[in-house]
Chain A
Amino acid sequence: MFKQKTIEEVKSASRKSSSGTTSNAFYNNPRIRGFFYQIALVAGLLYFFGTIIGNTLANMEATGIKTGFDFLGAAAGYDVLMSLISFESTDTYGRIFVVGFLNTLLVSAIGIFFATLLGFIFGVAHFSHNWLIRKIALVYVEIFRNVPLLLQVFFWYFAVLSSLPGARQSLSLGEAVFLNVRGLYLPKLIGGDLSSLVWIALGAAVAGIFVLRRWAKKRQELTGQQFPVLKTSIAMVILFPLIVAALTGFPFTVEYPALKGFNYFGGITVIPELMSLAIALSVYTGAFIAEAVRAGVQSIPHGQTEAARSIGLRENKIMSLIIVPQAMRVIVPLLNSEYQSLVKNSTLAAAVGYPDLFNVFVGTALNQTGQAIETIFMTIIVYFVVNMVISFLMNRFNSAVALVSR
């Protein structure tokens, strides 16, 4: 009869047999061996990269190419089309780097916001009971997913926005909003002395929404009664600041764009380079996100829908309460990579001259200073870090929506 051995017995048996056949010399100790191989690997890698870097520097020295990061403190001497911080041609290359970085963040943020919006709308529309809406969603995804992004950027820039009328024949909306080949001109709110109170009210309204949501959820769990959270939230965000503004006597002046000489000045200018890039990125990435949303929804077994119907939930509630929350587990990891692609694709800015980091730094700064290795290295680090941050945030979000095992 077999007597079953415990794991401990097997282990001790194998230890005995191995110690019997091999010597106890230090080089046979697996830990020391592992340690040695790791040291050898690290040393090899260090030598490899050290040689490459040393050789590159020596070759650059020999061919008379300047090296180092001193250029970041030197005056750039050229202008940038659009900057979120003040910039003049006497400012430094270091500031150019920041200007480009902020412009990249801006177009990426706009792109991510609208791509997500479009993606969820068209992804859910795929399951509509309306034939037309279903087909529109299908056509949207198929067209914009299958046309190269560069071509789409060119389309929006050269075919659509470049055919708008010139500055002096602008399309206007109530003499406040102007659209021409040079961009979209919007009126700008300029805050007076008490305007900060209005912004505080807005902040309070947003914070209030979170409190409201928690309270409504708790109440529903206790009593089963529902509270119209969405309607109340919207009302809060609009009314809170408005009431405060009325109490403080509307501490704002509106600055309207006006034609002076060659251009419209004043107000907010959205340049066509930014518009075309943001539209192309949103629409293109939105098509992929729509597919991700569709995949997520389809991954939920049909039984969930049937079960939801059997307890009397309405169709839109089934989607928002049962299907989408479960589908998020599939959607979020896909969203993560779509967002990262979007940030990387924003470098197509160079094609239309939007001054993103790649364009103003790897493009112009590299060309004017000739310091290819430094500029490209710095730019790689930026995209790497931005994408790592996106990945980190999305992973946090993912663990929040992941199935919680109880």
Chain B
Amino acid sequence: MLALGIKDYLIKTPRYTVTFRQFLTMNVDENDSLKIVGTLVAVEKEQQPTQKRIYIMAKKALLTASILAATMTAGAVQAATLDDVKSRGTLTCGVSTGLAGFSQKDENGKWSGLDVDMCRAVAAAVLGDSEAVQYKPLTAKERFTALASGEIDMLSRNTTWTHTRDTSLGINFAGTNYYDGASFMVMKDLGVSSATELDGANACIQAGTSTELAIADYFRENGMSYKAVTFDTSDQTRQGFESGRCDFLTSDGSQLAALRIGLANPGNAVILPEVISKEPLGPVVRQGDDQWFNIVKWSLNAMIEAEEQKVTSANAADMKANGNPANKRLLGAEGELGANLGLSADWAYNIITQVGNYSESFERNVGMDSPLKLARGINASWRDGGILYAPAMR
């Protein structure tokens, strides 16, 4: 009966058309088979003969059951994130719930920041439109689960690249867009000028961050004690700090600068000189989709490379036509860089004209053109004495 029912069945999906028999031997992912169930029912209705209704119903039930069984045993899922993003027309990007300079929403609901620019760069490279991004605000605790479950296509949420996360969470770090380190912020009237004077103090920390681990190490190493008061969002840590629940707030240096300007009176707080950990922050993707991993990695590198080549959003069009071979390769006038990523030739051109190079993004969001006024420091290009260095663009 199964064979009879299957004979004349074609399965049509946006991606392929096969017979049901072929389908059973195919390696499909669950998204595909869900689409197929939908298509089958539609086909069924069009072709439904008037008389053999019971027969058709039995056939339909059998097919659905077989497809479900096939889905369950399909095994390893190889998600094609690029195809998903293209067919959806927008990139879903995980950002913070609000952190000045990195990812914050203004009163018109428009997101901006260094991390947001990373999302916009990928959207520009993949879809040609840096605004085709759906932002998903996430707490530190939610972020990896949201990525693993496929709720977001990429995570760009001041996330520290650590060995444990990289190797045991099923995620890949696609580079570093800000080199940071954990530090301390105290109120001036506490009369503390160094972290070594903080023995016995209360600390406000965001739960689930690498800072939570770094501070435990630091106090243990220096034989000091502290009380960890952990909150869900960085905004709550600021409230706790302001209300006096804690003596100091600890987080990455850039975050402290951002939280400091959010205080009722920023002048009352001071950031201590100690930097107690390495916190390289960068975009993250799911493990197991190398093409998408490459796209995110090289979108970041394109911004860094553009700064090295002195290509900016203002001069990109000119450089594309009249620049040196390296400029032309980057901007898609020559070479196969875009095609190798599965993108159009002007992928990097779109990033640079719509988002800007790394320097433009940095200055606009966290640098001298922003309220944070962070210096480039080690986040300068290697040509200017920093450690930002893009692999060769060829």
Contact = CB atoms under 8 A, between A and B. Distances in A.
Interface of A: 51-52, 55, 58-60, 62-66, 77-81, 89-90, 158, 162-163, 165-167, 180-182, 260-263, 265, 272-273, 350-351, 353, 355, 359, 363-364, 366-370, 372
Given A63-B170, A364-B230, 9 more contacts: A51-B72, A55-B72, A62-B76, A78-B216, A165-B244, A180-B244, A182-B244, A262-B247, A370-B168
B244 A59 contact: no
A162 B231 contact: no
Interface stretch (B126-134, B205-213, B332-340, B386-394): B205-213
Nearest to A59: B77
Contacts of B232: 350-351, 353, 363
A364 B170 contact: no
A366 B169 CA distance: 10
Contacts of B216: 77-79, 89
A181 B243 contact: yes
User: Which one of B73, B229, B239, B286 has the greatest number of beta carbons of chain A within 10 Å?
Assistant: B229
Contacts, number: 132
B339 to A, nearest CB: 27
Contacts of B229: 81, 273, 353
A317 B170 CA distance: 67
Contact of A262 (B200, B228, B231): B200
Nearest to B145: A372
Contacts of A60: 170
9 contacts: A58-B76, A62-B75, A64-B168, A90-B220, A182-B244, A182-B245, A262-B247, A265-B200, A351-B232
Contacts of A263: 200-202, 227, 247
A372 B208 CA distance: 13
Contacts of B145: 366, 372
Contact of A166 (B212, B240, B244): B244
B226 interface: yes
Interface in B220-236: 220, 226-232, 236
A368 B208 contact: yes
Contacts of A367: 140-141, 144, 207-208
A273 B199 CA distance: 22
B200 A62 contact: no
Contact of B170 (A52, A55, A78, A370): A370
A146 to B, nearest CB: 26
B288 interface: yes
A319 B76 CA distance: 67
A370 B199 CA distance: 31
Interface residues of B, number: 46
Contacts of B287: 63-64
Given A181-B243, A182-B245, A261-B199, A370 B230 contact: no
Contacts of B151: none
B168 A369 contact: yes
A359 B229 CA distance: 12
Contacts of B72: 51-52, 55
Contacts of B217: 77, 89
Contacts of B244: 165-167, 180-182
Q: Is the interface of B mostly helix, strand, loop or mixed?
A: mixed
A358 B205 CA distance: 17
Contacts of A366: 141, 145, 208
A63 B201 CA distance: 41
Given A65-B168, A89-B220, A260 B144 contact: no
Contact of B207 (A65, A158, A272, A363): A363
Nearest to B203: A79
Contacts of A363: 141, 207-208, 232
A65 B287 CA distance: 9
Given A262-B247, A367-B144, A64 B212 contact: no
B148 A63 contact: yes
B201 A262 contact: yes
B158 to A, nearest CB: 15
Considering the complex of A and B, which 5 residue pairs feature the smallest CB-CB distances, nearest first? Answer: A367-B208, A65-B170, A370-B169, A89-B216, A62-B76
Contacts of B165: 370
Given A66-B168, A363-B141, A363-B208, A55 B201 contact: no
B239 A261 contact: no
Interface in B74-121: 75-77
Nearest to A355: B230
Contact of B230 (A81, A260, A265): A81
Contacts of B73: 51, 55
Interface centre among A89, A158, A366 (most CB of B within 10 A): A89
Nearest to B237: A353
Contacts of A265: 200
A78 B247 contact: no
Contacts of A350: 232
A367 B145 CA distance: 9
B234 to A, nearest CB: 13
A350 B226 CA distance: 20
Contacts of A81: 227-230
A43 to B, nearest CB: 15
A166 B247 CA distance: 10
Contacts of B208: 363-364, 366-368
Interface string B242-267: 01110100000000000000000000
A65 B148 contact: yes
B320 to A, nearest CB: 39
